[in-house]
Amino acid sequence: MELRQLEHFLAIVEEGSFSRAAARVFMVQSSLSASLLALERGLGTELFIRGRRGAELTDAGRAFLEPARAVLEGADRARDAVAEIKGLLRGTVRIAAVFVPRSIDIVETIRRFGEEHPGVEVRVLPADPRSMVDLVADGQVDFAITPRVQRRSAALRFETLVSAPLAVVCPAGHRLAGAREVDPRELVDESIIELPHGWRSRELFDQLFEEHGLQRQIRLEVDDWFRVLTMVQRGVGISYGPRECIEEDIFGGVGVATLADAPLWELGIASRDEALRGAAGRAFLAAYREHCANASSRWSW
């Protein structure tokens, strides 16, 4: 059994298909399949069911998953320890992130970090807000930029970056555009584009209605913030979200209204209490924190 075979196995698990995994590890699909086949022969069992829906883990594959991750993480730590002694910075940083205000976007940190540390690979994993904390808790990412949720593990910590009131977003010509301290009762009969259950904004909006003894009919749910703003822009309905995430200069034709008794939405860094997996993860997180601190000082000015 070789480390590269374990890396190929995990790539298939995380990508869900052989073709996407091959692209991720820069191999042709036939070579990736041959690597996995050699691993399966060494273990004496099949790890995946190949089908139309992609690659699905067998029972043996599910049992093998966590030990394989542990072996690779141990190898990463060993390599990082040697690299730190030599004064080098290498390894992989894995991050999960939701849409955030541009002032604390992670893109600028990725660009600068890549220029300063070309030996480090940065991976931004696709994830929705409902699974962010689980990715951190399971060790699949070094940290996540995510809305605050109830702690699901005592080993997790949350550092607040942004605290913003929930607001209403509506078409620019809507009667509520620009209004202040809107009473939630004024929203009951509106056509509201809802975010799904599990999104922090949805939880806060539901709580606001419950506190006022209000009910609303759910007609449309959209599981993507950009699509919500696009629908609002095109007049499909109104919606809600944190004020700082409503980019009016990007989405022209939308307006914003403040809410009376608006609950606060918090965005921050979720990480494990123990040290990050390696020097690269620690260095990247330090660079991102510095970027956010500089952005905060500009807001204060």
CA–CA dist 22, 140 (Å, integer)? 19
Span 64-85, average pLDDT = 78
Transcribe 49-95 into DSSP letters. Answer: EEETTEEEE-HHHHHHHHHHHHHHHHHHHHHHHHHHHTT---EEEEE
Tokens 């860094």, residue? 269
Domains of the chain, CATH where assigned: 1-88 (1.10.10.10), 162-266 (3.40.190.290)
pLDDT (tens digit per residue) in 279-289: 788 889 999 99
User: pLDDT for 89-140, tens place per residue?
Assistant: 677 888 988 877 777 888 889 999 988 888 888 888 777 777 788 888 777 7
Model-wide pTM > 0.85: no
Q: What is the mean pLDDT of residues 189-200?
A: 92
Q: Are 259 and 165 in contact (CB under 8 A)?
A: yes
Question: 142: which residues sit within 8 A by CB, 6+ positions away?
Answer: 93, 94, 95, 271, 276, 277, 281, 284, 285
250-284 tens-digit pLDDT: 777 899 999 999 999 998 998 886 555 567 888 89
Contact indicator for 152, 137 with CB cutoff of 8 Å? yes
Check whether 178 has a pLDDT greater than 70: yes
Under 8 Å between Cβ of 251 and 230: yes
